[in-house]
């Protein structure tokens, strides 16, 4: 125990040892936030201040929870499987709800809907209510419902503001939607926390079970909490108020998804006797990078205040480059990456951080031309791929028969010759008799209501479902999936069509089977799938990382490129129009996050013109460029260089032996194409 305490600096150690009462740890970028949180958890356990199951530790991602668990193991040794209450807000809420589902009108084996399920259900409701999807998109409806849930509002609690002409119609959809998913014995992500809050508010005895049990509460990334998450925490806090929240107000960048920085800034008002610890020593970046980031963020007014410092090397100045246009910017950054390649630097240590995802196109085009490997972080996630979702829906319906959305997806997947008329027949009977689709199908079979061919198909499928449920009692869940894929005809469907796309689908299903081995049972695996987050990203291979600045939070790279620092793009015009100065401060925090991802080198750039909707538009350098300090910044001497026009994004990939050297990476591309 003494060893791990000795590895902490003075401020970190103070934050770890002060276990009693409320405390707020203001942890600057790269200051060892996770180290402090982990050490505090380990210290509580080592000192026997609480049993493992008396500690609630909340993170925002599964990745962060896993990392904490592994770090605690290293510190105290042995197994920490007993840390049952270490996880994300959503995963812990699932545990609460599984135990007390009846208190909210659900069965304990409820299904967690994903966004596709939600969208499909809302589309069906809109169709039934004659709501024009062109005027009010299902995505917009989902967004507003999510906002209401983040504010702790069930349909009957919503008060219309008339800010939006369609609010009344959307509220009507919300009421139908909420009743429908209850009928499905399901809930969505927003419900997981909201339902817990409602249970705690309406059932003092249930709330007391947890508030009396949890002697210590630890919260990671507290600046990212929204209203309902903060209320969730406040309801289960014990009388001793032993809550420790760790975060950084300068990295609060998620207001668009409901995060409220006032939770962090107002912590000392909620807990007047709280202690505040500031972690200002940075272990990630050079002094120059820190000085530039600190100077920029000092322009914000709503912050607790801190000054990052480092006893490491001063390092290179932050480079500020001006380019003629977006194409030249992509070329310039590509050339700089080529220099890293020549120095044998790992591509994995390089990141391009953009404000908007559409900025990636020009970089992708350039890298494809020059043969630089890259990855887009934030593309289609593994569990969102069609074939993977199909397989999971088979497992969901095996898990519980009330999952109508899963049943509807698999009933004609692979194609079984069932048309829309059959699906409609099922829905009509289900709606009329208030039964799930599976039960409706079985009843319609008994009543001989299906056409002969349809009857054969549905009867066969239902027999298979019954068989698979029986198989689950004696077989492992991953072995069951193999059986399902074979007996359903899904494997044959993919194998019968030999092409690269189907081969990739088969490989994805193999990967799915491998992933299932990490979970003890089917329900545990399905919960993992439902709670998987976009930040939990597979890495591997040598590739330049391209992502938004939002997606980069929590990550670090040796070299970081920050392109597109222009007014309208960054700070983003739409954000400024909607929220004014509040948005401006958040955009500046985003700039701070971007710069502090860099360990050794940071490059900021802007273009004098960009192509918008087919037209060239003149650009102005971002106001953030003017807010950078003179010291620590190196401006390029020739902001606009004249370059040959022979290298065009649209040039043909024709290669002749006597071709001239056209650009960095041309030789590498030539080798690729010849192969």
Q: Which residues are catalytic?
A: 33-34, 220-221, 251, 597
Strand boundaries in 296-439, DSSP class E = 318-323, 350-354, 374-376
List phi, psi (to 5°) of 609.
-155, 155
> How far does CA 565 lie from the centroid of its chain?
25
Residues in the chain: 675
564 in Cβ contact with 250 (< 8 Å): no
Q: Residue 644, Cβ neighbours under 10 Å: how many? A: 8
SS3 for 405? helix
Closest by CA position to 34, among listed 2, 66, 79, 78? 66
Three-state secondary structure of 43-94: HHHHCCCCCHHHEEEEECCHHHHHHHHHHHHHHHCCCCCCCCCEEEHHHHHH
Nearest by Cα to 593 from 162, 367, 285:
285
CA–CA separation, 62 vs 86, rounded Å? 10
3-class secondary structure, 323: strand
Backbone dihedral region for residue 431 (phi beyond 0: left; psi -120 to 50: alpha; all else: beta): alpha
Task: Pick the closest to residue 60 from 218, 273, 199, 179 (CA basis).
Answer: 218
Q: Which residues contact 12 (CB under 8 A, 6 or more apart)?
A: 32, 35, 36, 39, 279
55-59 and 86-88 strand pairing? parallel
Residues 18, 285, 375, CA angle at the centre, nearest 5°?
A: 110
In terms of Cα–Cα distance, which of 175, 171, 166, 176 is closest to 132? Answer: 166
DSSP-derived secondary structure letter, 391: H
Residue pair 354/549 in contact by the 8 Å Cβ criterion: yes
The residues, any chain, with a CB within 8 Å of residue 595's CB and separated by 6 or more, are: 289, 292, 293, 296, 318, 560, 562, 602, 604
Query: In this structure, how many other beta carbons lie within 10 angstroms of the beta carbon of residue 154?
Result: 15
Reference 188, options 116, 289, 260, 237; nearest CA is 116
576 by Cβ neighbours in 10 Å (0-12 / 13-18 / 19+) ranks as: middle
Of the candidates 48, 43, 41, 51, the residue with the CA atom closest to the CA atom of residue 1: 43
291 backbone φψ class: left, alpha, beta (φ>0; ψ -120 to 50): alpha
On whether the CB atoms of residues 79 and 156 are closer than 8 A, the answer is no
Question: Residue 486: CB partners within 8 Å, gap ≥ 6?
Answer: 492
Can you state the angle between helices 33-46 and 10-17, rounded to 10 degrees? Answer: 40
For residue 279, list its beta bridge partners. Answer: 27
Determine contact, residues 221/59, Cβ cutoff 8 Å.
yes
């Amino acid at each position: 125990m003494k060893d791990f305490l000795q590895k902490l600096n003075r401020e970190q150690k103070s934050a770890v040892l002060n276990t009693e009462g409320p405390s707020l740890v203001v942890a600057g970028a790269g200051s060892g936030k996770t180290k402090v949180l982990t050490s505090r958890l380990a210290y509580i356990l080592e000192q026997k201040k609480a049993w493992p199951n008396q500690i609630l530790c909340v993170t925002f991602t599964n990745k962060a929870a896993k990392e904490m668990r592994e770090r605690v193991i290293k510190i105290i040794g042995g197994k920490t499987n007993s840390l049952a209450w270490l996880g994300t807000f959503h995963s812990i809420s699932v545990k609460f709800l599984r135990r007390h589902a009846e208190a909210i009108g659900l069965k304990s084996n409820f299904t967690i809907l994903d966004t596709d399920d939600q969208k499909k259900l809302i589309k069906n409701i809109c169709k039934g209510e004659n709501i024009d999807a062109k005027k009010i998109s299902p995505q917009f409806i989902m967004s507003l419902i999510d906002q209401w849930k983040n504010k702790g509002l069930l349909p009957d609690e919503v008060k219309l503001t008339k800010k939006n002409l369609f609010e009344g119609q959307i509220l009507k959809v919300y009421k139908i939607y909420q009743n429908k998913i209850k009928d499905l014995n399901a809930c969505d992500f927003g419900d997981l926390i909201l339902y817990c809050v409602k249970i705690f508010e309406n059932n003092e005895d249930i709330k007391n079970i947890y508030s009396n049990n949890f002697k210590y509460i630890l919260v990671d990334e507290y600046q990212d909490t929204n209203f309902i998450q903060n209320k969730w925490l406040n309801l289960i806090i014990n009388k001793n108020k032993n809550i420790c929240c760790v975060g950084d107000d300068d990295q609060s960048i998620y207001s668009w998804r409901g995060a409220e920085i006032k939770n962090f800034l107002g912590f000392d008002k909620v807990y007047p006797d709280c202690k505040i610890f500031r972690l200002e020593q940075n272990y990630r970046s050079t002094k120059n990078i820190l000085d530039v980031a600190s100077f920029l963020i000092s322009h914000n007014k709503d912050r607790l205040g801190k000054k990052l410092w480092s006893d490491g090397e001063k390092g290179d100045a932050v480079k500020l480059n001006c380019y003629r246009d977006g194409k030249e910017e992509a070329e310039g950054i590509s050339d700089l990456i080529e220099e890293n390649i020549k120095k044998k630097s790992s591509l994995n240590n390089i990141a391009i951080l953009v404000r908007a995802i559409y900025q990636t196109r020009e970089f992708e085009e350039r890298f494809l031309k020059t043969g630089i490997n890259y990855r887009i972080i934030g593309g289609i996630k593994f569990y969102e791929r069609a074939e993977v979702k199909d397989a999971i829906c088979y497992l969901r319906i095996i898990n519980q028969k009330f999952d109508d959305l899963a049943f509807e997806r698999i009933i004609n997947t692979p194609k079984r010759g069932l048309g829309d008329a059959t699906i409609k027949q099922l829905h009509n009977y289900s709606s009329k008799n208030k039964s799930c689709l599976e039960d409706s199908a079985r009843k319609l079979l008994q009543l001989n209501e299906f056409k002969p061919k349809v009857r054969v198909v549905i009867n066969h499928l239902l027999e298979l479902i019954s068989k698979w449920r029986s198989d689950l009692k004696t077989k492992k869940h991953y072995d069951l999936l193999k059986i399902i894929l074979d007996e359903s005809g899904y494997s044959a469907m993919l194998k019968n069509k030999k092409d690269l796309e189907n081969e990739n689908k088969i490989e994805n299903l193999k990967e799915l089977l491998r992933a299932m081995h990490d979970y003890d049972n089917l329900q545990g695996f399905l919960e993992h799938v439902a709670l998987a987050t976009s930040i939990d990203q597979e890495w591997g291979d040598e590739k330049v990382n391209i992502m938004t600045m939002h997606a980069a939070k929590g990550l670090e790279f040796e070299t970081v490129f920050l392109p597109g620092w222009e007014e309208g793009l960054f700070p983003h015009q739409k954000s400024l129009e909607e929220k004014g100065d509040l948005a401006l401060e958040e955009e500046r925090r985003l700039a701070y996050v971007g710069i502090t991802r860099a360990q050794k080198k940071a490059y900021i750039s802007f273009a004098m013109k960009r192509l918008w909707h087919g037209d060239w538009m003149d650009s102005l350098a971002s106001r953030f460029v003017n807010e950078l300090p003179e010291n620590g910044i190196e401006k390029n001497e020739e902001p606009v260089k004249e370059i040959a026009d022979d290298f065009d994004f649209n040039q043909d990939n024709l290669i002749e032996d006597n071709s001239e050297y056209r650009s960095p990476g041309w030789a590498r591309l030539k080798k690729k194409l010849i192969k």
